[in-house]
Amino acid sequence: MHPDIFHKDFTPTPYWWEAYTPTAGELIHVPRAVRVAIVGGGYAGLSAALELAKHGIDAVVLEANELGFGASTRNGGAVSGGVNVGKSFTGKTVEVDGDRVERILSDACDAFALIDRLIDEEKISCFWEKPGRFVGAWTKKHYDGQSRRLVMLNAAARSGAYMVPRERQREEIASDYYFGGMVVERSGKLHPALYYKGLLDACRRRGVMVCAKAAVTGISRLGATWRVETARGTVAAGNVVIATNGYTGRLTPALRRRVVPIASHIIATEELPPDLGRSLIPRARTLSDTKRVLCYYRMSPDGERMVFGGRARFTQVDATVSAPILHRYMTDRFPQLRGVKVTHAWTGNVAFTLDALPHMGQRDDLHYCLGCNGSGIAMMTYLGYQTARKIARANYACSFDTDDFPDHRLYFGNPWFLPIVGGYYRLRDSLDRLLA
Ligand SMILES: Cc1cc2nc3c(=O)[nH]c(=O)nc-3n(C[C@H](O)[C@H](O)[C@H](O)COP(=O)(O)OP(=O)(O)OC[C@H]3O[C@@H](n4cnc5c(N)ncnc54)[C@H](O)[C@@H]3O)c2cc1C
């Protein structure tokens, strides 16, 4: 272990788990029959179940591990109002034709409104705030590119976005690291594990069956119904929803080859002296940047720690590998944090799609909502909700529901190429900066 950066109380678990640790709880029986079986108990699965319950439709959530095992209790807690939609894991924004971009951004805007409403209606205590986001420009060219997207973002996603030139950057961040950047007023932050717990409580209040340790091992047709086999028994279901995102496995090969699981890593620092903690991000926004291999960061809800994430590696690696890299990225931006120790380091999987867009729809008659592309607190909540509305035949329209969920003829779900891709994009980032 790198002795200089690790605190004596270091733990390789998410900082957020101090408030809610994923647990199997008291195991409830897998029912024999249900209208809807949902595979995956993250935000998407719970939100689908919650909305189904509101329509009087009984659902069971089948989670392979403890409740909250996936990305939903491991993320950075920065809630996007749409600015990230279409950003691929190469850092590039995908080209989508004009009309569709507007509808997509408009839906992303609805996703933000949904999470705002859910937290209020379900009285979820999760430190939900809407201070906005600052996206730092890695190069002058990136700054100019951000400026060109402003009109679209403000028109379609009502982002309240504006540019902050380099001379005024210190109003946003106690650092000269970027070439200015963009503020997106319509974005927020929360405590991801407490938001998760709030959704879980809301489901339970409405009688949703949420089964931990119930890995789904097989799904087959039995006449008009589905036979869903789990580690703890078989359930017959009218509909099945796949909500496994970055943990999509061999159970659904056709979906597995449409999502690329990429690891994201985070560290949390020890408590900082109050003046230092308050000074780093003066407006308490969340931050990210325009690099291909981006970093994202914020202060903890109590304002005492820096929570700093990024793709230190594109694959799952030990904290002894990821934490020193993230610590270096952090002190590149904030030299004033040199010497500050890391108390927590953790990792989780996000799901990228080949067109960098989230997807919902039906394949072989199975419903799915997948592909957060790194930004899924609002989006996966929304896609779960929309999938439920589609099943309930409620008033429903969603631009992410298309038949066009691309695959690649050479990709079958094993992302062996990620270390190479990661190295290449880190190199490209360095070159961009050198030439800036
Ligand atoms: C480190 C990190 C940082 C992130 N930061 C942000 C951020 O700041 N802002 C943001 O908006 N998003 C962020 N994200 C993304 C966000 O966390 C995800 O998009 C979101 O949590 C996905 O929710 P989900 O329900 O789709 O999937 P998950 O929460 O990943 O849940 C999927 C579940 O499916 C289960 N599963 C898989 N296979 C089976 C099976 N066969 N049977 C039963 N269960 C199964 C898994 O065990 C898992 O629990 C981050 C993600 C990570 C990992």
Residue 161, pLDDT score: 93
Smallest CA separation from ligand 1 atom 50, residue: 75
CA of 375 to the centre of ligand 1 (A): 10
Nearest-angstrom CA–CA distance, 353 and 376: 13
Is 372 close to ligand 1, i.e. is its CB under 6 Å away? yes
Q: Cα 318 from chain centroid?
A: 21
Tell me which residue has tokens 């989230």: 358
Q: Does the C-beta of 43 come closer than 6 Å to ligand 1?
A: yes
Residue 80 CA: which ligand 1 atom is closest? 11
DSSP letter, residue 363: E
Please identify, by atom number, the ligand 1 atom nearest to the C-alpha of residue 246: 30
Residues 41 and 19: their CA atoms lie apart, in Å, by 19
State the pTM of this model.
Answer: 0.96
Cβ–Cβ under 8 Å, residues 259 and 246: yes
Query: Which of 16, 43, 127, 357 best tests ligand 1's pocket when mutated (most atoms within 8 Å of CB)?
Result: 43
What is the distance between the alpha carbons of residues 220 and 208, in angstroms, rounded to a whole number? 23
Å from CA of 104 to ligand 1 middle: 21
Q: Any idea what DSSP says for residue 400? A: T
Q: pLDDT 10s digit of each residue in the chain, 436 long?
A: 556 899 999 999 999 999 999 999 889 999 999 999 999 999 999 999 999 999 999 999 999 999 999 999 999 999 987 656 666 655 566 667 767 778 888 898 899 999 999 999 999 999 999 999 999 999 999 999 999 988 888 887 788 999 999 999 999 999 999 999 999 999 999 999 999 999 999 999 999 999 999 999 999 998 889 999 999 999 999 999 999 999 999 999 999 999 999 999 999 999 999 999 999 999 999 999 999 888 999 999 999 999 999 987 777 888 889 999 999 999 999 999 999 999 999 999 999 999 889 999 999 899 999 999 988 999 999 999 999 999 999 888 899 999 889 999 889 888 888 888 888 888 888 888 888 7
Coil, helix or strand at residue 347:
strand
Report the C-alpha gap between 339 and 197 in whole angstroms: 34
Count Cβ atoms below 10 Å from residue 116 Cβ, excluding itself. Answer: 16
DSSP state string for 190-255: --HHHHHHHHHHHHHHTT-EEESS--EEEEEEETTEEEEEETTEEEEEEEEEE--GGG--TTSHHH
Distance 372 CA to ligand 1 centre (A): 8
Residue 98, helix vs strand vs coil = helix
**What interhelical angle do 377-391 and 43-54 show, nearest 10?**
40
> Is 360 touching ligand 1 by the criterion CB < 6 Å?
no
Alpha-carbon gap, residue 96 to 199, rounded angstroms:
33
Contacts of 409 by beta carbon, 8 Å cutoff, 6+ apart: none
> 199 CB less than 6 Å from ligand 1?
no
- Beta bridge partners, 203, equal none
Which stretch of DSSP H or E encloses residue 93?
Answer: none
Q: Is 24 close to ligand 1, i.e. is its CB under 6 Å away?
A: no
Closest Cα to atom 31 of ligand 1? 42
Quote the CA–CA distance of 386 and 291 in Å, as a whole number: 32
User: ∠ CA(80), CA(112), CA(392), 5° rounding?
Assistant: 130
Beta bridge partners of 309: 266, 296
Closest Cα to atom 10 of ligand 1: 375
Whether residue 78 has its Cβ less than 6 Å from ligand 1: yes
- Tokens standing for residue 21: 């640790």
For a substitution probing ligand 1, which of 128, 377, 381, 382 has the most ligand atoms within 8 Å of its CB? 377
Nearest atom in ligand 1 to the alpha carbon of residue 296 is 8
Mutate to test the pocket of ligand 1, among 80, 307, 350, 400 (most ligand atoms within 8 A of CB): 350
Tell me if 391 sits within 8 A of 418, measured CB to CB. Answer: no
Candidates 20, 23, 21, 53; CA nearest to 36 is 53
Task: Please give the Cα distance from 422 to 208 (Å, whole number).
Answer: 40
Residue 251 Cβ < 6 Å to ligand 1: yes
Q: Which residues have CB under 8 Å from 299's CB, separation 6+?
A: 277, 280, 281, 284, 305, 306, 307
pLDDT number for residue 331: 97
Q: What is the largest CA-CA distance in the chain?
A: 67
Q: 3-state secondary structure string, 129-186? A: ECCCEEEECCCHHHHHHHHHHHHHHHHHCCCCEEEECHHHHHHCCCCCCCCCEEEECC
d(CA 431, ligand 1 centre) in Å: 32
Query: pLDDT value at position 91?
Result: 56
Q: The tokens of 421 are what?
A: 């891709």
Cα angle, residue 100 at apex, residues 428 and 155 outer, rounded to 5°: 85
Determine the pLDDT at residue 93: 62
312 lines ligand 1 (CB under 6 A): no
CA atoms within a 13 Å half-sphere pointing along the CA-CB vector of 423? 4
Cβ of 187 closer than 6 Å to ligand 1, yes or no, is: no
Q: Give the Å distance between the CA of 340 and the centre of ligand 1.
A: 29
Distance 248 CA to ligand 1 centre (A): 10
Q: What's the rounded Cα separation, in Å, for the pair 434 and 44?
A: 41
85 in contact with ligand 1, CB cutoff 6 A: no
Assess whether the C-beta atom of 243 lies below 6 angstroms from ligand 1.
Answer: yes
Residue 321 CA to residue 326 CA, distance in Å, equals: 9
Paired sense of beta strands 259-269 and 286-289, if any: unpaired
